[in-house]
Amino acid sequence: MVVTWKKVVFLLLLVAAGIWAYFHFFAAAGDTGTEELPQAYAQGNPVALSELKKRPYDKTLSPPFRKMAVESMDPKVREAAVWYLAAGSEPAEEGVIISALGDPDPRVREAACNAAKLRKMKKAVDVIIPLVEDDDIDVKGAARSALQSITGIHRYMGRSEWEQQWNMMNENR
Protein backbone atom coordinates (compact mmCIF):
# COMPACT_ATOMS: atom_id res chain seq x y z
CA MET A 1 0.00 0.00 0.00
CA VAL A 2 1.36 3.33 -1.06
CA VAL A 3 0.89 6.23 1.33
CA THR A 4 0.14 9.39 -0.57
CA TRP A 5 -0.32 12.89 0.72
CA LYS A 6 -4.04 12.66 -0.23
CA LYS A 7 -4.51 9.64 2.03
CA VAL A 8 -2.72 11.39 4.88
CA VAL A 9 -4.84 14.53 4.49
CA PHE A 10 -8.02 12.41 4.32
CA LEU A 11 -7.04 10.54 7.48
CA LEU A 12 -6.26 13.79 9.31
CA LEU A 13 -9.61 15.27 8.26
CA LEU A 14 -11.38 12.14 9.44
CA VAL A 15 -9.68 12.33 12.84
CA ALA A 16 -10.48 16.04 13.11
CA ALA A 17 -14.14 15.38 12.30
CA GLY A 18 -14.27 12.68 14.97
CA ILE A 19 -12.75 14.99 17.58
CA TRP A 20 -15.15 17.78 16.61
CA ALA A 21 -18.15 15.42 16.85
CA TYR A 22 -17.02 14.20 20.27
CA PHE A 23 -16.72 17.66 21.74
CA HIS A 24 -19.74 19.06 19.93
CA PHE A 25 -22.17 16.27 20.80
CA PHE A 26 -20.90 13.81 23.41
CA ALA A 27 -18.96 16.06 25.73
CA ALA A 28 -21.53 18.85 25.35
CA ALA A 29 -24.37 16.51 26.31
CA GLY A 30 -22.45 15.30 29.36
CA ASP A 31 -21.89 18.87 30.55
CA THR A 32 -25.46 19.99 29.89
CA GLY A 33 -27.86 20.29 32.80
CA THR A 34 -30.73 17.84 32.85
CA GLU A 35 -33.32 20.57 32.24
CA GLU A 36 -31.48 21.78 29.13
CA LEU A 37 -31.14 18.36 27.46
CA PRO A 38 -34.59 18.38 25.76
CA GLN A 39 -33.73 21.70 24.10
CA ALA A 40 -30.29 20.39 23.08
CA TYR A 41 -32.00 17.36 21.49
CA ALA A 42 -34.44 19.65 19.66
CA GLN A 43 -31.53 21.74 18.38
CA GLY A 44 -29.98 18.72 16.70
CA ASN A 45 -27.75 17.10 19.32
CA PRO A 46 -28.52 13.40 18.73
CA VAL A 47 -26.78 12.34 21.93
CA ALA A 48 -28.88 14.54 24.22
CA LEU A 49 -31.87 12.17 24.32
CA SER A 50 -29.78 9.12 25.24
CA GLU A 51 -27.94 11.21 27.84
CA LEU A 52 -31.29 12.30 29.31
CA LYS A 53 -32.44 8.66 29.55
CA LYS A 54 -29.28 7.82 31.52
CA ARG A 55 -29.68 10.62 34.05
CA PRO A 56 -31.11 9.67 37.44
CA TYR A 57 -34.67 10.83 38.02
CA ASP A 58 -34.91 13.94 40.19
CA LYS A 59 -38.32 14.59 41.75
CA THR A 60 -37.67 18.34 41.90
CA LEU A 61 -37.40 18.45 38.09
CA SER A 62 -40.84 16.91 37.57
CA PRO A 63 -42.75 20.23 37.34
CA PRO A 64 -40.60 21.78 34.59
CA PHE A 65 -40.56 18.52 32.62
CA ARG A 66 -44.35 18.19 32.93
CA LYS A 67 -44.64 21.73 31.60
CA MET A 68 -42.28 20.97 28.68
CA ALA A 69 -44.21 17.81 27.80
CA VAL A 70 -47.49 19.71 27.59
CA GLU A 71 -46.61 23.24 26.49
CA SER A 72 -43.58 23.05 24.20
CA MET A 73 -44.24 23.76 20.54
CA ASP A 74 -41.28 21.55 19.58
CA PRO A 75 -42.20 17.85 19.36
CA LYS A 76 -38.61 16.80 20.16
CA VAL A 77 -38.76 18.70 23.45
CA ARG A 78 -42.11 17.06 24.27
CA GLU A 79 -40.69 13.63 23.38
CA ALA A 80 -37.61 14.11 25.56
CA ALA A 81 -39.72 15.40 28.47
CA VAL A 82 -42.03 12.37 28.30
CA TRP A 83 -38.99 10.07 28.31
CA TYR A 84 -37.71 11.78 31.45
CA LEU A 85 -41.10 11.49 33.17
CA ALA A 86 -41.17 7.75 32.43
CA ALA A 87 -38.68 7.20 35.24
CA GLY A 88 -40.70 9.17 37.76
CA SER A 89 -43.24 8.23 40.37
CA GLU A 90 -45.31 11.37 40.82
CA PRO A 91 -49.08 10.91 40.23
CA ALA A 92 -49.26 14.19 38.27
CA GLU A 93 -46.83 12.74 35.72
CA GLU A 94 -49.27 9.98 34.82
CA GLY A 95 -51.80 12.53 33.57
CA VAL A 96 -49.13 14.13 31.39
CA ILE A 97 -48.12 10.74 29.97
CA ILE A 98 -51.75 9.86 29.23
CA SER A 99 -52.20 13.24 27.55
CA ALA A 100 -49.05 12.63 25.46
CA LEU A 101 -50.61 9.43 24.09
CA GLY A 102 -52.86 11.74 22.04
CA ASP A 103 -50.06 14.04 20.85
CA PRO A 104 -50.12 14.90 17.12
CA ASP A 105 -46.44 13.84 16.75
CA PRO A 106 -45.81 10.09 16.46
CA ARG A 107 -42.46 10.21 18.34
CA VAL A 108 -44.23 11.75 21.34
CA ARG A 109 -46.97 9.09 21.21
CA GLU A 110 -44.32 6.38 20.98
CA ALA A 111 -42.44 7.82 23.97
CA ALA A 112 -45.71 8.00 25.92
CA CYS A 113 -46.44 4.33 25.16
CA ASN A 114 -42.97 3.41 26.39
CA ALA A 115 -43.44 5.55 29.50
CA ALA A 116 -46.77 3.87 30.26
CA LYS A 117 -45.11 0.49 29.77
CA LEU A 118 -42.22 1.32 32.11
CA ARG A 119 -44.62 2.59 34.78
CA LYS A 120 -47.14 -0.25 34.23
CA MET A 121 -49.92 2.35 33.97
CA LYS A 122 -53.24 0.48 33.93
CA LYS A 123 -55.00 3.87 33.78
CA ALA A 124 -53.56 4.36 30.31
CA VAL A 125 -54.77 1.10 28.74
CA ASP A 126 -58.02 2.57 27.39
CA VAL A 127 -56.03 5.31 25.65
CA ILE A 128 -53.30 2.96 24.38
CA ILE A 129 -55.67 0.41 22.80
CA PRO A 130 -56.63 2.65 19.82
CA LEU A 131 -52.92 3.22 19.14
CA VAL A 132 -52.51 -0.40 17.95
CA GLU A 133 -54.12 0.93 14.75
CA ASP A 134 -52.01 4.11 14.57
CA ASP A 135 -50.74 5.25 11.16
CA ASP A 136 -47.14 5.14 12.44
CA ILE A 137 -45.64 1.66 12.64
CA ASP A 138 -43.37 2.54 15.58
CA VAL A 139 -46.35 3.81 17.58
CA LYS A 140 -48.24 0.59 16.78
CA GLY A 141 -45.33 -1.51 18.03
CA ALA A 142 -44.87 0.57 21.18
CA ALA A 143 -48.61 0.39 21.90
CA ARG A 144 -48.68 -3.40 21.54
CA SER A 145 -45.59 -3.76 23.69
CA ALA A 146 -47.07 -1.51 26.38
CA LEU A 147 -50.37 -3.39 26.39
CA GLN A 148 -48.60 -6.74 26.64
CA SER A 149 -46.44 -5.52 29.49
CA ILE A 150 -49.26 -3.85 31.43
CA THR A 151 -51.88 -6.59 31.00
CA GLY A 152 -49.63 -9.65 30.92
CA ILE A 153 -51.34 -10.84 27.72
CA HIS A 154 -48.63 -11.78 25.25
CA ARG A 155 -50.51 -12.28 22.01
CA TYR A 156 -50.71 -10.33 18.79
CA MET A 157 -54.19 -8.78 18.76
CA GLY A 158 -56.04 -6.00 16.99
CA ARG A 159 -57.95 -3.17 18.61
CA SER A 160 -61.26 -5.00 19.06
CA GLU A 161 -59.54 -8.04 20.63
CA TRP A 162 -57.64 -5.81 23.04
CA GLU A 163 -60.86 -4.03 23.99
CA GLN A 164 -62.60 -7.36 24.65
CA GLN A 165 -59.70 -8.71 26.70
CA TRP A 166 -59.40 -5.50 28.72
CA ASN A 167 -63.16 -5.41 29.42
CA MET A 168 -63.08 -9.05 30.55
CA MET A 169 -60.11 -8.34 32.84
CA ASN A 170 -61.95 -5.39 34.39
CA GLU A 171 -65.16 -7.41 34.89
CA ASN A 172 -63.22 -10.07 36.82
CA ARG A 173 -62.01 -7.55 39.39
Residue pair 70/39 in contact by the 8 Å Cβ criterion: no
CATH number at residue 63: 1.25.10.10
Distance CA 38, CA 44 (A): 10
Q: With respect to residue 20, please indicate whether it lies within any of the assigned structural domains.
A: no
Containing domain of residue 48, as a range?
A: 32-171
- For every residue of 4-18, DSSP letters joined together read -HHHHHHHHHHHHHH
pLDDT higher than 90, residue 160: yes
Query: pTM for this one?
Result: 0.79
Q: Render pLDDT for 3-57 as a digit per residue (tens, 0 to 9).
A: 788 877 787 777 767 665 555 555 445 556 777 878 888 887 777 788 888 878 8
The torsion of the CA quartet 144, 94, 69, 71, rounded to 10 degrees, works out to: 120
Distance CA 72, CA 13 (A): 38
* Mean pLDDT of the 85-101 span: 94
pLDDT higher than 90, residue 58: no
Q: With respect to residue 7, please indicate whether it lies within any of the assigned structural domains.
A: no
pLDDT of residue 116: 97
Percentage above 70 pLDDT, the chain: 90
